[in-house]
Amino acid sequence: MIGKIEQLLQEVEAMEAANADELEALRIKYLSKKGAINELMADFRLVPAEQKKEVGMRLNELKNKAQEKIAALKERFENMDNGSEEMDLTRTAYPIELGTRHPLTIVKNEIIDIFARLGFSIAEGPEVEDDLHVFTKLNFAADHPARDMQDTFFIEQNEEDVTKNVILRTHTSSVQVRAMEHAEPPIRIICPGRVYRNEAISYRAHCFFHQIEGLYIDKNVSFTDLKQVLLLFAKEMFGEDTKIRLRPSYFPFTEPSAEMDISCNICGGKGCPFCKHTGWVEILGCGMVDPHVLEASGIDSKVYSGYAFGMGVERITNLKYQVKDLRMFSENDTRFLREFEAAY
């Protein structure tokens, strides 16, 4: 056995290859499953016990040297100068500029990061949805205006059973419904995504935009918990001096419901044209999850309670960067996008 190992060591040290094909043949000859070194490894069981230590060490030395020699030859081929490979004749002659993240992506990632640090995980769902998850299970009445053609993009309508209508989701609350259907409380999620509404496009509205909604369901969840989470979010997003206020509002899927304002981050709450001289700017809607919504998804409302909130990413981006025209976010004007190169 020792003699065979010494012979192979000499062969390995003398190995040379003129090209990659010859190198591959050498690798197969010595290092493949049926190669010479593996054959010796298979015969190792026949070596007398008193010789196993020495033979084992010599076998490992042989295998290591063969691997090193093959790797060295391979690296030599890879580093060989080849003028035809250095020049890409298909590459444009003009300088290629590095891109940047879209401002909506920058802000969305920042929002996600804040809530991730508060224990929320990300949940996603389909943009093409059904009426059941977008409206019915969220406590929207059958004649609610949001179901009307003026607000919703319908892909397929079923006049006999409205719950079977196929639509483009108008909010990411449908993701919350799907989470409640398939997960046991406690549930703590945020749902980022694109939504669609049949609106006229202008500087202040668009037919598609982006939302991030949050949901927390557990035992003994209170409105105080909701207020504290939103206060922490506002301070992280807009600065430690940011104040919030909650105004009573109405949403079909929360009760009680509220709109949340923050102190204007431009004038510091003193009043300016951006906040219409009120010192406050609305950023999101929120509230305690209506018991009917919990029950519709199979969650016992006598045991569990929860809160939900939702905000538009475009709205938050406007507040951070004072972008006055929503259409700029979707026009792909590189002059506009270049302004955010240092924002992340």
Residue 164 lies in domain: 103-340
Q: Is residue 168 part of a domain?
A: yes
160: domain CATH number? Answer: 3.30.930.10
pLDDT tens, the chain, 344 aa long: 777 878 888 888 888 888 888 888 888 888 887 888 778 777 777 778 787 788 778 878 888 888 888 888 888 777 665 544 566 778 777 777 777 889 999 999 999 999 999 999 999 999 999 999 999 999 888 777 766 655 888 898 877 777 788 999 999 999 999 999 999 999 999 999 999 998 888 888 889 999 999 999 999 999 999 999 999 999 999 999 999 999 999 999 999 999 999 998 777 778 887 788 888 999 999 999 999 999 999 999 999 999 999 999 998 998 888 887 888 998 888 888 888 876 65
Quick one: 112 and 23 in the same domain?
A: no
Quick one: 109 and 72 in the same domain?
A: no
Quick one: 82 and 112 in the same domain?
A: no
Quick one: 153 and 70 in the same domain?
A: no
CA dist list (Å): 307 to 114, 290, 322: 18, 9, 30
Q: Is residue 91 part of a domain?
A: no
Positive or negative: CA dihedral 265, 266, 270, 275: negative
Quick one: 108 and 79 in the same domain?
A: no
Closest CA to 108 of 294, 275, 305, 311: 311
Quick one: 236 and 319 in the same domain?
A: yes
Quick one: 71 and 110 in the same domain?
A: no
Quick one: 161 and 47 in the same domain?
A: no
Positive or negative: CA dihedral 314, 319, 322, 324: positive
Q: Is residue 25 part of a domain?
A: yes
Q: Is residue 94 part of a domain?
A: no
Model pLDDT, residue 316: 92
Quick one: 115 and 217 in the same domain?
A: yes
